[in-house]
Amino acid sequence: MLQYVIRRLLYSAVVLVLASFLVFMFVTVSGDPLAALKITPNVSEETVQNIIERKHLDEPVPVRYYEWVKDALTNKFGTTLLTDEPILPDLWRVMKNTLQLVLVAELLAILIAVGIGVYSALRQYSVFDYSMTTFSFLGLATPVFWLALMLQVAVVQIYLATGRNVFPIANLNSVDPGEGLSFVIDRAHHLVLPVIVLMVANIATYSRYMRASMLEVVNSDYVRTARAKGLAESRVTMKHAFRNALIPLVTLVALNFGTLLGGVVVTETVFSLDGMGLYFVNALGTNDPYPVMAWLMITATMIIIFNLVADITYGLLDPRVRYD
């Protein structure tokens, strides 16, 4: 197992380096970060020169890449191009915000989806099953930005009708969130709508997966054996059916989670949440490769780690799978 992990990490390192070079090249050649400056009247020539020297903008791309690597390793990913501000503090801040949002959304989605999937499978073709199937299709078909906007509009309409602000519709916290517990509650309050939006698509996917997996297991021979042994139905379902049915879902969740940590751009934009997705989009918009690369490195590492976690977990849960 250890050998397997090490080998995977080595391959991943190669992938990471390759990805970093490609992305750096694309961002660099896609546009001139000084474009806006150059056509703005009265911009000081000396200042523009300073920037060009500081960020080696007159050098060819491979040299600039090398400079970036140096900066990334020795100077915590370096500083932004125009304003020369350190990147890492901002990145940590947005990372934490995204983590909060995504973690809560995923956990809730899993809990609900597993419940729905199991119950649907056990009560196949019932009213519950059909309505959950419909809900899943709707959830998958609904565009995220539309759902987010509809929720905001709904909340505002409620406010206009009753004077009650049931949920805040933007940002991470209110003007005076308070300290300690009050801050936490305020933050949770602000995350309710974004979490709902994120959950919908995930619940739809996960519950379908869970249902399919559960159906397959529930009709299997070993479940019949378990019943034949005289086990109570609840025990049969939980110990024999449910645990086995959960395995493919665990893999899916682990893989999905890695990607989510790169940020959920649309949700973050509509709700103005200070997260990784928004950070990336803004950085890209300024054609500044440094923050984009920093974001990429973190996101790629997360994805690689979680891919590995998915594989290892699968191996742990299913003894038929062995890694050498």
Partner 1 sequence: MRKRSLLPLIGVVAIVASLVVGPAATAGPEVAKAGTVVFIHDQEPPNLNNDLVGNGLYATSLVMNRILESGAYYNAQARLVPVLLTGLPKLIKTRPLTAELEYKANAVWSDGRPITGADFRTAWRTYINPAHNVRSRTGWEDIQRVNVKGKKATVIFKKTYAPWQELLSASPLPTHKVQGQNYNQLWLNSIDVSSGAWRFQSWQKGVQLTVVKNPRFKALPTMKLDRVVFRYILDTNARFQALKSGEGQVMEPQAQLQIADFRNDSNFEVQSLAGFSYEHVDIQFGPQGHAALKQPYIRQALITGMNRAQISGALYGTIAGRLPVLNSLIFKTFENGYTPHFSAWKFNQAKVISILKGKGCTGGPDRPSAGNNSIFSCPGVGRLSFRFATTTGNQLRALTFEIIQRQLKSVGIELLPRFQVAGTLFGTTLPSGDWDLLMFTWVQSPASKITSKDIYSCGGELNYMKYCNRKATKLMDATAQELNPAKRQTMLNQANALMAKDIPSIPMFVRPEFLIRNKKVTGPKANPTLTGDTWNAHVWTTK
Partner 2 sequence: MAQPILEIRDLTVEFDTEDGVVRAVTGVSYDLAPGEVLGIVGESGSGKSVSMLSVLGLIPKPPGRIPSGHATFEGEDLLTMSSSRLRDLRGGRIAMIFQDPMTSLNPVLTIGDQISEAILVHNSGTSDDDARKRTVELLELVGVPFAERRVDQYPHEFSGGMRQRAMIAMAIANDPAVLIADEPTTALDVTIQAQIVEVLKAAQRETHAAIVLITHDLGLVAELADRVVVMYAGRVVELADVFTIFNEPRHPYTIGLMNSLARLDADLDRLEPIPGQPPSLITPPPGCAFHPRCAISQGRAICRTEVPPLKAVGVQEAPHDSACHFADELANLGAARAGTAS
Q: Which of residues 221-260 bind partner 2 (CB under 8 A)?
A: 221-222, 224-232, 235, 240, 243-244, 247
Q: Residue 278 touches which of partner 2, partner 1, none (CB < 5 to 8 A by kind)? A: partner 1
Choice between 2 and 228, CB closer to partner 2: 228
Query: CA–CA distance from 226 to each of 77, 176, 220 (Å)?
Result: 56, 57, 10
Using CB under 8 A as the binding rule, whether residue 287 contacts partner 1 is answered as yes
Using CB under 8 A as the binding rule, whether residue 317 contacts partner 2 is answered as yes
Among 3, 14, 42, 74, binds partner 1 (CB under 8 A): 42
Q: Scanning residues 45 to 104, which ones bind partner 1 (CB under 8 A)?
A: 46-48, 50-51, 80-85, 90, 93-94, 97
Using CB under 8 A as the binding rule, whether residue 23 contacts partner 2 is answered as no
Contacts of 283 (CB under 8 A, 6+ apart): 291, 292, 295
Give the x-and-dash track for 123-162 against partner 1 (CB under 8 A).
--------------------------x--xx-xx--xx--
- Using alpha carbons, select from 15, 6, 7 the residue that is nearest to residue 303: 15
Give the DSSP per-residue string, 78-107: -B-TTT--BSHHHHHHHHHHHHHHHHHHHH
Distance of CA 199 to the CA centre of its chain: 12
Structure tokens at 261: 């940590």
**261 φ, ψ (degrees, to nearest 5):** -65, -15
Q: Tokens 């890695």 belong to which residue?
A: 258
Choice between 135 and 159, CB closer to partner 1: 159
Least distance from partner 1 to the Cβ atom of residue 13, Å: 32
Choice between 189 and 235, CB closer to partner 2: 235
Rounded Cα gap, residues 263 and 96, in angstroms: 11
126: DSSP letter: S
Least distance from partner 2 to the Cβ atom of residue 114, Å: 17
Using CB under 8 A as the binding rule, whether residue 228 contacts partner 1 is answered as no
Using CB under 8 A as the binding rule, whether residue 127 contacts partner 2 is answered as no
In the chain, the amino acid numbered 154 is A
Name the residues that contact partner 2, by CB under 8 A: 220-222, 224-232, 235, 240, 243-244, 247, 317-320
